[in-house]
Amino acid sequence: MKTLSPNWLTEHLIDFEYKKYVLLAYLQSVREELKAQRLYPAFADLIFHYRNLCYLRDNKTLLYENFPQRISHADFERLKLVYKRIVEDDETMRVIEELVHFSIPLIGEALEEAREIYDYIEGHLEISPVGITPLNTDRGYMFLTKATENNTRIYTYHITVFEDHHERFRGIHTQYLETAALTLTQTYEHLKLNLARRFAHLPNPATFAVIAKISCPLEESLLPIARRALVKHISRMSA
């Protein structure tokens, strides 16, 4: 997939036709990913650029966040000079504002397409606890299964909580453990018991089966959506 630099508006040639070509080439690449139901990293990328553009539109200015963040002090000082020249150049600012207003609806359309795919996949996920669920559900196992397959991918998961000044967020970290066959005798419950025997630090692990009723790419769509769906499911349980 083609990528769009975080500071694509201000780097290289600031020309409307050139930037329009850059944006349209990027969106064409994104739509090819979406057509194949490969949501990530395209979805997160679209959200980032859409929020950035809306922020620029609403604030009528360019901020330092629109430049690369991991730079040396000397490079940052040079970028401040670039920033100053851009702000003081009326024609450059006019082109950038025109680009912002041109880009927002186009990226917004692609973002809506991605959201529809996300919602469609999430709507075809079935999440259920395996065995008795302990009081602490922050750590455990996730069994990720495609309904058309006779095996399940087993992941460990760890939910973390972080806060800013206004909100409390939950994040999830997963690590692939192994793939196991599902049979009449080797059920989810059987797999959970085996995991509890093998890994003594989780004697009664919180375990959830996430079953996908449709087929979609694992790494680019199913896994990231399943992770987020599991966080929401556990949040509702503890609410």
Which H, E and C letters describe the chain, residue by residue? CCCCCCCCCCCCCCCHHHHHHHHHHHHHHHHHHHHCCCCCCHHHHHHHHHHHHHHHHHHCCCCHHHCCCCCCHHHHHHHHHHHHHHHHCHHHHHHHHHHHHHHHHHHHHHHHHHHHHHHHHHHCEEEEECCCCCCCCCEEEEEEEECCCCEEEEEEEEEEEEECCCCEEEEEEEEEEEEEECCCCCCHHHHHHHHHHHCCCCCCCEEEEEEECCCCCHHHHHHHHHHHHHHHHHHHHHC
Give the predicted TM-score (pTM) of the model: 0.83
Percent over 70 (pLDDT), the chain: 84
**pLDDT score, position 200:** 86
**pLDDT score, position 84:** 57
**pLDDT score, position 93:** 76
pLDDT over 90 at 45, yes or no: yes
CB 225 within 8 A of CB 122: yes
pLDDT-derived band of residue 111, with 50, 70 and 90 as boundaries? very high
Q: Which CA distances in Å does 100 have to 43, 59, 146?
A: 19, 12, 41
Pick from 109, 182, 170: which is nearest to 143 by CA? 182
pLDDT over 90 at 211, yes or no: yes
pLDDT over 80 at 78, yes or no: no
Q: Which CA distances in Å does 118 have to 62, 110, 166, 224?
A: 31, 12, 27, 10
Higher pLDDT, 5 or 31: 31
pLDDT-derived band of residue 65, with 50, 70 and 90 as boundaries? very low
What tens digit of pLDDT does each residue of 50-62 get?
A: 998 888 787 755 4
Higher pLDDT, 63 or 7: 7
Angle of helix 16-35 versus helix 42-59 axis, rounded to 10? 150
**pLDDT score, position 63:** 46
pLDDT-derived band of residue 112, with 50, 70 and 90 as boundaries? very high
